[in-house]
């Protein structure tokens, strides 16, 4: 199998008009890096997937090499503005120490005299991780006093947390009023790939959309009109489209309030010459228990009392053929309940079809990211986004507050 990530460049970027970290002098300066270290932990508070930490390493290592005093920050979980030990970033500090192969200081808070004292003693190239930003209610409310207290710690602000770029929080928006604000390498790369895929795709351009609900992807579908050549829809959202066409879907997932919208969008895409694909068969069961009887049936023959939980083999073949001539593939959302082995085959086979396509391949969204990793093809994908909600909003053509707040380049 080829490795697309090693040979496929990012789309040509003609729309990134913000400062990036390499545009500014950070030598010897206190550089506040907003990262996304919101990693999964097990019951023993051990990190089970450090992809998000690794994704920010290029920005961290660049700042270290430039002799900056590197101040890292992030949120973890939803502590509701209160100190909660199970959401401490201490495990992240340990993992960073191993990944960077150097000492990483850990502050017991994210603001205050004690933190300021630690930073005052830092030398160029030192790295400090602040405690969970969301231990303060001012983070999520974008409180100006909290933003100013964070800004007081640094000379320069760098946002490398694309996964939170759709949030107007103190550490993603508020701080930028007080410091020169630049994008880190990950942030810039996310924009280049995701926005580039939409605004300047190499065609044929195929979009694969899955997941549970049409409502979460309708904005993407509407934004794709006039830009995409083919749209493949799988997952639970497919059955809202199928019911909207007047067919029986048994007890499959459906958003009845989205039926009219789904029908309108499907017709609009077809009127604009976009080929629109829905599953032709599916894997059905009466419930999701591991011992449940499962069947493969045509999509239009789902009996009452049964629910579709994955695409079937004929759909996999249909979708795979549709991908064969693609030059750009964007995939957001699994084809079924892939977390359960009995309903994972459709998603995993599409993952292999995407990986084997001779195309620029872009995967967005947390579930799809997990799917390509479990399918064992992540190394063959050109780019895997670290953002869920942020990637969807960018694909809808919406402005993300965390990106809009960055300092504009003078030559833009």
> What does the alpha-carbon distance between residue 399 and residue 25 come to, in Å, rounded to a whole number?
27
213 is catalytic: yes
366 is a catalytic site residue:
yes
**CB–CB of 210/237 below 8 Å?**
yes
Q: Within 10 A of 270 (CB to CB), how many other CB atoms are there?
A: 12
Sign (positive or negative) of CA dihedral 328, 331, 335, 337: positive
Catalytic residue of the set 67, 77, 124, 366: 366
Retrieve residue 217's tokens. 């992807």
CA distance 11 to 63: 26
Q: Collapsing DSSP states into helix, strand and coil, what is residue 359? A: coil
Beta bridge partners of 307: 285
**In sequence order, which ranges of 9-89 are alpha helices (DSSP H)?**
51-55, 57-65
What is the C-alpha to C-alpha distance for residues 78 and 301, in angstroms, rounded to an integer? 43
Catalytic residue from among 4, 52, 266, 307? 52
Asked about 387 being catalytic, the answer comes back as no
Q: Which residues contact 307 (CB under 8 A, 6 or more apart)?
A: 250, 251, 252, 253, 284, 285, 286
Which DSSP symbol is given to 357? S
Two structure tokens written together for 132? 């969970």
Look at strands 281-285 and 307-311 and give their pairing. antiparallel
Q: Quick one: residue 372, left, alpha or beta (phi over 0 = left, psi -120 to 50 = alpha)? A: alpha
- Tokens (6 digits) for 247: 């067919």
Catalytic residue, candidates 97, 148, 213, 227: 213
CB 133 within 8 Å of CB 171: yes
What whole-number distance in Å separates Cα of residue 350 and Cα of residue 337? 14
183 has which bridge partners?
20, 159
Of 180, 128, 122, 125, the C-alpha closest to 151 is 180
Options 28, 81, 389, 397, the catalytic residue: 389
Task: List strands edge to edge, sheet with 360-363.
Answer: 275-277, 230-233, 205-209, 328-332, 360-363, 383-384
Active-site residue set: 52, 213, 366, 389
């Amino acid at each position: 199998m080829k490795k697309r990530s090693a040979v496929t460049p990012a789309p040509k970027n003609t729309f990134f008009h913000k400062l990036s970290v390499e545009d500014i002098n950070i030598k010897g300066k206190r550089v506040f890096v907003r990262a996304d270290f919101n990693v999964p932990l097990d019951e023993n508070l051990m990190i089970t997937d450090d992809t998000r930490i690794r994704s920010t390493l290029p920005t961290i290592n660049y700042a270290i090499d430039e002799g900056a005093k590197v101040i890292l920050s992030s949120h973890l979980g939803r502590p509701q503005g209160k100190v909660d030990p199970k959401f401490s970033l201490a495990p992240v500090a340990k993992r960073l120490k191993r990944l960077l192969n150097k000492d990483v200081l850990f502050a017991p808070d994210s603001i205050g005299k004690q933190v300021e004292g630690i930073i005052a003693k830092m030398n160029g190239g030192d790295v400090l991780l602040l405690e969970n930003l969301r231990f303060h209610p001012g983070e999520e409310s974008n409180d100006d006093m909290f933003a100013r207290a964070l800004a007081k710690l640094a000379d320069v602000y760098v946002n490398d947390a694309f996964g939170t770029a759709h949030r107007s929080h103190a550490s993603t928006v508020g701080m930028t009023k007080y410091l020169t604000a630049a994008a880190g390498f990950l942030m810039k790369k996310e924009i280049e790939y995701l926005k580039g895929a939409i605004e300047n795709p190499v065609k044929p351009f195929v979009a694969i959309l899955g997941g549970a609900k049409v409502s979460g992807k309708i904005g993407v579908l509407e934004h794709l009109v006039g830009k995409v050549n083919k749209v493949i829809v799988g997952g639970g959202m497919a059955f809202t489209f199928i019911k909207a066409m007047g067919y029986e879907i048994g007890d499959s997932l459906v958003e009845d309030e989205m039926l009219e919208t789904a029908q309108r969008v499907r017709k609009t895409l077809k009127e604009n010459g976009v080929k629109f694909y829905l599953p032709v068969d599916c894997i059905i069961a009466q419930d999701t228990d591991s011992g449940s009887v499962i069947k493969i049936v045509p999509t239009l023959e789902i009996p009452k009392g049964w629910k579709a939980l994955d695409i079937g083999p004929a759909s996999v073949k249909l979708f795979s053929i549709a991908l064969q001539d693609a030059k750009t593939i964007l995939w957001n959302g699994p084809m079924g309940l892939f977390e359960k082995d009995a309903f994972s085959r459709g998603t995993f086979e599409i993952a292999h079809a995407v990986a084997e396509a001779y195309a620029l391949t872009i995967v967005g969204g947390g579930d799809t990211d997990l799917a390509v990793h479990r399918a064992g093809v992540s190394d063959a994908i050109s780019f895997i986004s670290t953002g869920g909600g942020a990637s969807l909003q960018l694909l809808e053509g919406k402005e993300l507050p965390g990106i809009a707040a960055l300092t504009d380049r003078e030559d833009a």
